[in-house]
């Protein structure tokens, strides 16, 4: 059995090592995506105009008037002092072709005082990589590897990295098992005192697996780092693997599996089939109308936070209005903030989202992203996850080094055996 697990650990580890290395390094960086983005791109995020800021929805209308080929699909409703306001945009349909206009950006940064456009960029662009796009490039590289759409399917990258996460979960258990020392058989005829001594000796034989012998050879230190890091960080590694699987294979595997064991409250998006890219649902209600309806509904429901952002999903015809104080858009415990959902055609309420509430299945689903990002523990959690990215990359490298060293040893032994056989045959 141990031989089977050794082979399984070896080949599964080699299969996913490169993917985990990329995921680990990028995970370390994107734990601080917003902060790094602002440091790299002060020209996009800093507003220097003096005066009173305009209303965000008025600024959105001005943006659409300047660029009639786009419409605003995401609008912040609060403005941080000294910051620009970043709108998410999509291309409108071109009446001449029946398809969307071609644009090379999906974010526009506007001065909140003058309404002037400060800059624009394509969030998640593959090429060219610039300081304006490098953080979003790494963010998408982390979970999709930027694998392009093929045969009309755009989820190849999600599926691949989701499959890697499944193998990683399996390998967590296999690797843990291999750190355990082989149990010595205790014969029934042996005295109880001898049996207890043998069992106590098993723990003594396992203790070195938790340590790094710094005085050993380079190979021994590499091996100890691989084994001890995996043991000490096993729980966090498994959480990262499981949540990676849950987030990447959410609709294909995770959500259906959770529904099999617990009641799950469907969202308005679960009840609708997305429209084709070139057949977006054009809303009849404006942002201002929806925000007004949402504010009244929030007051009726006792929501104390102000409307913080509004988003329109053109594939579903659904408005989402989020409620949060400025700077708290991640919500409590890293979950998304309170939200109300409205139909874009008639303005009726479609549903709501309350963080950390609902059925057991609802709460379990909500916990996946906060756990994966570490935001469930606030700043200490983000630091931990950033550190774990380095641990994952280290485990990948040290695992490959162990395999290369053992492979060279096997090749050398086989070569010596062949030479000895040839010598005897002569």
State the pTM of this model: 0.87
The domain spans of the chain are: 1-36+155-265+358-406
Between CA 205 and CA 353 the distance in angstroms is: 51
Which H or E run contains 14?
Answer: helix 2-30
Mean pLDDT to the nearest integer, 352-368? 92
Between CA 182 and CA 20 the distance in angstroms is: 29
pLDDT tens-digit series, residues 11-64: 999 999 999 999 999 999 999 999 999 999 999 999 888 888 889 999 999 999
DSSP type of residue 321: E
> How do strand 338-343 and strand 318-323 relate by DSSP bridges?
antiparallel
First-last CA distance in the chain: 40
Mean pLDDT is lowest, of 183-187, 227-231, 341-345, 400-404, for 183-187
Nearest by Cα to 280 from 70, 58, 60, 68: 70
Task: Report the share of the chain in percent with pLDDT over 90.
Answer: 60
pLDDT tens-digit series, residues 84-131: 999 999 999 988 888 998 999 999 999 999 989 999 999 988 888 899
Query: CA geometry: angle at 9 spanning 415 and 20, to 5°?
Result: 110
Lookup: tokens for 200: 């106590």
DSSP type of residue 149: P
Nearest by Cα to 201 from 184, 178, 179, 177: 184
Nearest by Cα to 338 from 378, 376, 301: 301
Mean pLDDT to the nearest integer, 168-195? 75
Q: Report pLDDT for 82.
A: 85
Q: What single string gives the DSSP state of each residue in 283-315?
A: -SS-HHHHHHHHHHHHHHHT--SPEEEEEEETT
Instruction: Give, in order, the Cα–Cα distances in Å from 356 to each of 241, 257, 301, 352, 361.
Output: 22, 20, 17, 13, 11
For residue 186, pLDDT beyond 60:
no
What is the rounded radius of gyration, in angstroms, for the C-alpha atoms of the chain? 27
- Neighbour tally for 359: CB within 10 Å: 13
Lookup: tokens for 171: 């390998």
Give Cα 12 distance to the centre of its chain. Answer: 22
Between CA 143 and CA 22 the distance in angstroms is: 10
Contact 345, 361 (CB under 8 A): no
Between CA 167 and CA 12 the distance in angstroms is: 7
Between CA 336 and CA 370 the distance in angstroms is: 9
* Residue entry with tokens 């590499």: 222
- Per-residue 3-state assignment (H helix, E strand, C coil) for 207-227: HHHHCCCCCCCHHHHHHHHHH
Nearest by Cα to 132 from 124, 144, 143: 124
Average pLDDT value over all residues in the chain:
89
pLDDT tens-digit series, residues 256-309: 999 999 999 999 998 889 998 888 999 999 999 999 999 999 999 999 899 999
Percentages of the chain per state (helix, strand, coil), in multiples of 5:
55, 15, 35
Instruction: Give, in order, the Cα–Cα distances in Å from 157 to each of 142, 163, 204, 278.
Output: 10, 10, 45, 23
DSSP type of residue 253: I
Q: Report pLDDT for 204.
A: 81
Between CA 233 and CA 229 the distance in angstroms is: 6
Phi, psi of 272 (to 5 degrees): -125, 150
């Amino acid at each position: 059995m141990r031989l089977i697990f050794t082979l399984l650990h070896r080949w599964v580890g080699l299969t996913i090592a490169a993917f985990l290395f990329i995921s680990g390094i990028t995970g370390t960086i994107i734990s601080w995506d917003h902060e790094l983005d602002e440091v790299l791109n002060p020209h996009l995020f800093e507003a220097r105009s003096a005066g009173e800021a305009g209303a965000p929805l008025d600024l959105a209308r001005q943006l659409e008037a300047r660029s009639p080929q786009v419409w605003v699909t995401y609008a912040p409703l609060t403005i941080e002092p000294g910051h620009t306001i970043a709108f998410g945009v999509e291309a409108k349909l071109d009446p001449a072709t029946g398809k969307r206009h071609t644009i090379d950006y999906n974010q526009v940064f506007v001065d909140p005082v003058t309404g002037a456009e400060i800059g624009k960029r394509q969030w998640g662009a593959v090429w060219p990589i610039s300081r304006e796009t490098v953080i979003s490039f790494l963010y998408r590289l982390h979970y999709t590897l930027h694998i392009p759409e093929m045969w009309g399917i755009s989820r190849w990258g999600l599926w691949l990295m989701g499959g890697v996460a499944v193998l990683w979960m399996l390998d967590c258990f296999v690797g843990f098992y291999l750190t355990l020392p082989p149990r010595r058989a205790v014969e029934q005829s042996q005295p109880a005192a001898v049996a207890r001594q043998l069992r106590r000796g098993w723990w003594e034989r396992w203790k070195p697996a938790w340590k790094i012998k710094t005085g050993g050879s380079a190979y021994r230190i590499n091996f100890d780092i691989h084994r001890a890091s995996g043991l000490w960080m096993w729980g966090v590694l498994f959480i990262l693997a499981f949540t990676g699987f849950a987030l990447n294979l959410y609709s294909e595997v995770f959500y259906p599996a959770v529904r099999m064991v617990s009641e799950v409250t469907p969202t308005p998006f679960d009840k609708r089939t997305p429209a084709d890219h070139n057949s977006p649902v054009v809303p009849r209600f404006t942002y201002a109308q929806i925000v007004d309806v949402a504010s009244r509904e929030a007051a009726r429901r006792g929501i104390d936070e102000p409307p913080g952002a509004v988003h329109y999903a053109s594939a579903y015809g659904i408005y989402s209005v989020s409620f949060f104080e400025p700077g708290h858009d991640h919500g409590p415990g890293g979950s998304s903030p309170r939200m109300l959902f409205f139909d874009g055609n008639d303005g009726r309420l479609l549903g709501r989202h309350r963080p950390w509430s609902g059925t057991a299945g609802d709460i379990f689903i909500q916990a996946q992203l906060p756990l994966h990002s570490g935001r469930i523990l606030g700043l200490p959690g983000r630091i931990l996850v950033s550190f774990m990215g380095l641990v994952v990359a280290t485990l990948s490298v040290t695992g490959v080094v162990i395999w290369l060293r053992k492979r060279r040893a096997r090749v050398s032994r086989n070569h010596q055996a062949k030479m000895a056989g040839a010598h005897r045959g002569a």
